[in-house]
Structure 1
Amino acid sequence: MSIAKKLVSQTAVYGVSSIVGRVLTYLLVPLYTGAFAAAEYGVVTGLYAYVSFLNVVFTYGMETTYFRFANRPGTDRRDLYDRTLSLLLLSSAGLALLLMALARPLLGLLDIGPGYERYFYWVALILAFDAVSAIPFARLRLENQARKFATIKMAGIVVNVALNLFFIVLCPAVASGRWLPALGPLVARVYDPGLGVGYVFLANLVASAATLLLLGRELLDFQFRFSWGPLRPLLKYAYPLMLMGLAGMVNETFDRILLAKWLPTGFYPGKSSLTAVGIYGACYKLSIFMSLVIQAFRYAAEPFFFAQSTEKNSPATFALVLKWFTLCCAVIFVVISLNVEDFGNIFLRRAEYRQGLAVVPVLLLANLFLGVYYNLSVWFKLTDKTYYGTYIGAGGAVLTIALNFLLIPVLGYMGSAIATLACYFMMAVLCWRLGERHFPVPYPVARLGLWLALAVGLVALGWAVPVAAWGPRHAWHVGLSLAFVAVLYLVERPRRTA
């Protein structure tokens, strides 16, 4: 099997858990947007912004560190696994307790009033459980147990989805007498209507605990070993990655926190800042199609890049990977952006959520550049210069905060979307320029730039030509999408050599 085919194969297996699992989770968006008003969904969006950000704090770069040190000659992988997991167990417990103590002030940053503290306690436990499971999952990836990895990931997602359906759909219907009234006494014992959006977090907590149980073999095959001496080189390698990850999460999630604080009162008539956060968060979900590809790719690519780093033709391989990754993401960008109204009608059940659909193309393009950055970042990981990632991420974080400060009062949540795009574009360009100096790779930058320009031009054309009727508008947008795919295929399809 060729190197490229091996990466595609691994990506496909990881993609089963990532893409299918994410799709199952994504099917909850119509459920949430139908069951909860935008202000209620704003609570979910805000707290999960914290989850994304704090997940980096709880894992502090130890997954990548584990991969790097496990591939060094002479490393005792069993000892490395024991020490890394021991460290995460201790730190996760301490951080969870600290978060619980800070629940009220952190909720205040999102303009969330009293009564939601227990949701934040559940969030702290979710973060702790997920952090502890990170190294066992990394071990499965290192040992190429992609199918087991995918199965356990999928099982956790299925539990989460099933509990959401049970508490948000079935229980209210039974309690009101619309469905299966015979189950009324049972439902009355387990269901509290006043918990509302809290069931979103409770379902996630149970799913995270179930995932830990399914990793029981990996957790039991572990001896607690803790001493600072062997951990110092790991932490020295990891802390720039953590800082880089924190900066990345500022870029990825802080817009929802900043939107709640910096949106002027009355900017959207009749809507609170929490409502605006809910609308923006729901529309952000439509960029998930790009995120699915990026996440599946990252699961397979990180160990792949480390394994290929010693090969003579690795730069050419990295260039080929970036090319096809970018072209695939460009297709996703065009198709979703041109047909975003159709996707919005399917997934955003209340009309108030669909008011923010204009941010979706901007966020899709932003995520495309984020994926490009992840590809380009291989150079500082392979050269052990991870501090460059910290510098790039920190620059992106500063730009994100500055642009949100400037644009939110003027453009509302569109300002947050533009800030995200500017940040990821800057990070990708800066990473590429620095990589040219330290780890040259023959990336086809000019060619990919032309393809992206064509993609953006077609999306702009599709939005600029107003077609009122659904049928002609749908045909116009589908036609543009197919035209892009056809031109891409004709130009980039593999040629047979004589």
Structure 2
Amino acid sequence: MSVAKKLAGQTAVYGISSILVRVLNYLLVPVYTGRFAAAEYGIVTGLYAYVSFLNVVFTYGMETTFFRFANRPGTDRRLLYDRVMSQLLVSTVALTALLALLARPLMQLLDVPPGRERYAIWLALILGLDTLAAIPFARLRLENQARRFATIRVANILLNVGLNLFFIVLCPDVLAGKYLHILQPLVARLYDPSIGIGYVFLSNLAASAFTLLLLGRELLDFRFRLDATPLAAMLRYAYPIMLMGLAGMVNETLDRILLPLWLPEGYYPGQSSLTAVGIYGACYKLSIFMSLVIQAFRYAAEPFFFAQSSEKNSPATFALVLKWFTLCCAVIFVFISLNIEDFAWAFLRRPEYREGVAVVPVLLLANLFLGVYWNLSVWFKLTDKTYYGTYIGAAGAVLTIALNFLLIPVLGYMGSAVATLVCYAAMAAMCWWLGERHFPVPYPVARLLLWLLLAVALVALGRWVQPGGFWLRHTWHLLLSLSFVAALVALEKPHRLIRS
């Protein structure tokens, strides 16, 4: 089996669980947008934006560090596992307690009325539990236990989705007398209407706790060993990755934090800043289809790249991987962008949310460049020059902040979307340019850029030329999508890759 096939197979295994997890979670979007006003959903969007930053702080690059040190010759993987878990356990307890104490200031940053501090406390517990599960999950990936990994991940999301549906849909409907009247006494004891959107966080907390139970085998296999000398070496490798992750979170989620701060009052008539955040956050979810591919790819690619690093033809393999990753993402970009109104109608149940769908093609393209960046970043991970990732991420973070500052007052949340696109494209360009000097790989850059330009041109054509009538419009969009796929098949000949 060729290395390309091997990576494709691993991506498929991890991808099935990853995609299923994200799809099931994505099915909650019409629930939230149908049951809660945009201002309420803005609280969820804003708090989970902070969670993205804090998750990087809680894990501080130890997952990648675990992979790197585990693949070094002579490494005792069992001892390494114990050491990494020990230091994460100590830091997680301290950080969870600190975050719980800072619950009120965090809520004030989002301009949330007093009395909802418990949301931040629940999120602190979620972060703590998820951090403790990170290295056991990494161990499963390292040991190629894909089925166990997938089973636990799917069980987590099934419980989370089930609890969301129970507390947000079933309980309110039963109490309102819509159906299942016999359950009203039981629901009245279990359900507190005053919690409202807080059940989003409680459901997540319960699912995170359940995940630790399912990882019991890996957790019981752990022995507390906190050794200062190897810890210092791991931290030297990990801290640039943490800084890079923080910079990445600036690029990925800071817009939802800055939007309510820099959006001029009255920019969207009749809407509060939290409403704008809720609309933008819900529309951002429509770019999930690109995120699914990136997440599934990363689960398989990181251990794969480390394993392939010693092979003589590894640069050619890395170039082949980037090529087909980019082309597959380009197909997704074209299809989703041309049919965005249909996706928006299906998942954004209230009309107020659908006001922001114009940002979705921009965010899809931005996430495509993010995936390209993760492909290109292999060079500084394999050469132990992770500080370059910090420099690139920091440059992207500065660009993100500057562009949001300039564009939000002028374009609203479209300004945030454009800032995200420019940032990720610039990071990918910087990573490629530096990689060419430190770890040359024969990436077909010019050819891929031409394909992306063609994809953007087809999307623009489909958006500007809109035939009248439902079926005529959909036929036109389908023809544009198929023409792009046909051109790829004719010129890139993917069947040769399959037979290789």
Residue pairs, 1:128-147, within 5 angstroms: 128-147=128-147
After superposition, what is the alpha-carbon deviation per residue over 1:101-152, rounded to whole angstroms, capped at 9, x for unaligned? 1111122222212122101101011111111100000000000111110110
Residue pairs, 1:188-203, within 5 angstroms: 188-203=188-203
Structure-1 residue corresponding to 2:352: 352
Letter in 2 for 1:55: N
Structure-1 residue corresponding to 2:164: 164
Structure-1 residue corresponding to 2:260: 260
Structure-2 residue corresponding to 1:62: 62
SS of equivalent to 1:194: coil
The CA deviation at 1:495 is 6.4
After superposition, what is the alpha-carbon deviation per residue over 1:150-190, rounded to whole angstroms, capped at 9, x for unaligned? 11000000000000010011111111111111111111111
Bigger Cα displacement from structure 2, 476-485 vs 249-258: 476-485
The CA deviation at 1:468 is 4.3
The CA deviation at 1:14 is 0.5
Letter in 2 for 1:352: E
Structure-2 residue corresponding to 1:9: 9
Asked whether the equivalents of residues 333 and 364 of structure 1 are also in contact (C-alpha less than 8 Å), the reply is yes
Structure-2 residue corresponding to 1:427: 427
Residue pairs, 1:455-474, within 5 angstroms: 455-474=455-474
Structure-1 residue corresponding to 2:226: 226
Residue pairs, 1:349-388, within 5 angstroms: 349-388=349-388
Q: 1-side partners of 2:423 and 2:49: how far apart?
A: 17
Asked whether the equivalents of residues 111 and 261 of structure 1 are also in contact (C-alpha less than 8 Å), the reply is no
Asked whether the equivalents of residues 175 and 188 of structure 1 are also in contact (C-alpha less than 8 Å), the reply is yes
Q: 1-side partners of 2:495 and 2:40: how far apart?
A: 54
Structure-2 residue corresponding to 1:205: 205
Q: Is residue 2:273 matched to residue 1:302?
A: no
Over 3 Å off, 4+ runs: 494-497
Q: 2-side partners of 1:129 and 1:494: how far apart?
A: 43
Q: 2-side partners of 1:110 and 1:489: how far apart?
A: 48
Structure-2 residue corresponding to 1:331: 331
Equivalent pairs: percent with the same residue? 77
After superposition, what is the alpha-carbon deviation per residue over 1:350-376, rounded to whole angstroms, capped at 9, x for unaligned? 000000000000000000000000000
Letter in 1 for 2:431: C
Structure-1 residue corresponding to 2:148: 148
After superposition, what is the alpha-carbon deviation per residue over 1:172-219, rounded to whole angstroms, capped at 9, x for unaligned? 111111111111111111101111110000000000000010000000
Structure-1 residue corresponding to 2:343: 343
Structure-1 residue corresponding to 2:40: 40
Taking structure 1 as the reference length, what is the TM-score of the superposition?
0.99
The CA deviation at 1:494 is 4.0
Asked whether the equivalents of residues 109 and 261 of structure 1 are also in contact (C-alpha less than 8 Å), the reply is no
Q: 1-side partners of 2:113 and 2:85: how far apart?
A: 37
RMSD: 1.0
Asked whether the equivalents of residues 263 and 273 of structure 1 are also in contact (C-alpha less than 8 Å), the reply is yes
Letter in 1 for 2:362: V
Structure-2 residue corresponding to 1:82: 82
Q: 2-side partners of 1:401 and 1:295: how far apart?
A: 25
Q: 1-side partners of 2:475 and 2:466: how far apart?
A: 13
Structure-1 residue corresponding to 2:483: 483
Asked whether the equivalents of residues 340 and 357 of structure 1 are also in contact (C-alpha less than 8 Å), the reply is yes
Aligned residues: 497
Taking structure 2 as the reference length, what is the TM-score of the superposition?
0.98
The CA deviation at 1:223 is 0.2
Q: 2-side partners of 1:171 and 1:468: how far apart?
A: 43
Structure-1 residue corresponding to 2:417: 417
The CA deviation at 1:478 is 1.6
Q: 1-side partners of 2:143 and 2:112: how far apart?
A: 44
SS of equivalent to 1:255: helix
SS of equivalent to 1:442: coil
Structure-1 residue corresponding to 2:446: 446
Bigger Cα displacement from structure 2, 68-77 vs 461-470: 461-470
The CA deviation at 1:465 is 1.4
Letter in 1 for 2:292: L
Q: 2-side partners of 1:115 and 1:414: how far apart?
A: 32
Q: 1-side partners of 2:230 and 2:376: how far apart?
A: 30
Q: 1-side partners of 2:216 and 2:495: how far apart?
A: 49
Q: 2-side partners of 1:241 and 1:390: how far apart?
A: 7
Structure-1 residue corresponding to 2:113: 113
After superposition, what is the alpha-carbon deviation per residue over 1:452-483, rounded to whole angstroms, capped at 9, x for unaligned? 00000000111111334322222211211111
SS of equivalent to 1:193: coil
Letter in 2 for 1:149: F
Q: 2-side partners of 1:329 and 1:285: how far apart?
A: 17
Q: 1-side partners of 2:41 and 2:244: how far apart?
A: 29
Alignment gaps of 5+ in structure 1: none
SS of equivalent to 2:194: helix
